[in-house]
Structure 1
Amino acid sequence: MRKNLKLLGELQGIDLKIDVLHGEKDALLGEIAALEDNVTIARNAIDEKNGQAEELETAKKSLEENLATEAENIVRSEARLKEIKTQKEYQAVSKEISSAKKLTSELEEQILQKTAQLEELQAQIAEKEENLKSLEANISAQQGEVQSKVDKLESDIAIGIAAKDATVKSLPASMVKRYQKLRDQRKGIAVVEAKDGCCLGCNMNLPPQVYNLLFRGEEIITCPHCQRVLLLHQEPNNN
Structure 2
Amino acid sequence: MRNNLKALYVLQEIDLRIDGLDGEKGQLLAQGEALQASIAESGEKLARLREEAANVAAEKTQLEANLATEQDNITRSESHQKEIKTQKEYQAVSKEISGAKKLIAELEDQILQKINALEELSAEISKKEGELSEMEANVAGRLDELKGQIASLESGIATDVAQRELTVKGLPASVMKRYSRLREQRRGVAVVEAREGNCMGCNMHLPPQLYNLLFRADDVITCPHCQRILVMRQELDS
> Structure 2 length normalisation: TM-score?
0.97
Deviations 1:164-208 (A, max 9, x none): 000000111111111011000000000000011110000001111
Match of 2:26 in 1: 26
Shift of 1:233: 2.0
Partner Cα distance (1:235, 1:155) in 2:
33
2:5/2:236 contact within 8 Å kept: no
Shift of 1:235: 6.6
Match of 1:92 in 2: 92
Shift of 1:216: 1.3
2:175 is the alignment partner of 1:143:
no
Shift of 1:237: 10
Shift of 1:236: 9.3
Deviations 1:50-97 (A, max 9, x none): 111121012111211111111111011111101100111111101110
The DSSP-based 3-state class of the residue aligned with 1:164 is helix
Partner Cα distance (1:80, 1:48) in 2:
48
Match of 2:166 in 1: 166
Match of 1:48 in 2: 48
Partner Cα distance (2:186, 2:235) in 1:
28
Structure 1 segment 1-239 matched on structure 2, within 5 A: 1-234=1-234
Aligned partner letter, 1:208 = P
Shift of 1:234: 2.0
Q: Provide closer, same or farther for how the CA distance between residues 237 and 158 of structure 1 changes in structure 2, counting only shifts above 3 A.
A: closer
The DSSP-based 3-state class of the residue aligned with 1:85 is coil
2:217/2:236 contact within 8 Å kept: no
> Where do 5+ consecutive residues of structure 1 fail to align?
none
Deviations 1:82-131 (A, max 9, x none): 11001111111011101101100110111011011011101111111111
The DSSP-based 3-state class of the residue aligned with 1:24 is helix
Partner Cα distance (1:157, 1:149) in 2:
12
The DSSP-based 3-state class of the residue aligned with 2:188 is coil
Partner Cα distance (2:17, 2:195) in 1:
22
> Where do 5+ consecutive residues of structure 2 fail to align?
none
Partner Cα distance (1:78, 1:234) in 2:
112
Q: Provide closer, same or farther for how the CA distance between residues 172 and 130 of structure 1 changes in structure 2, counting only shifts above 3 A.
A: same
Structure 1 runs (4+) deviating above 3 angstroms are: 235-238
Q: Over the residues paired in the alignment, what is the CA RMSD in angstroms?
A: 1.4
Partner Cα distance (2:164, 2:216) in 1:
27
Percent of aligned pairs sharing the same letter = 55
Deviations 1:31-62 (A, max 9, x none): 11111111111101101101111210121112
Aligned residue pairs total: 238
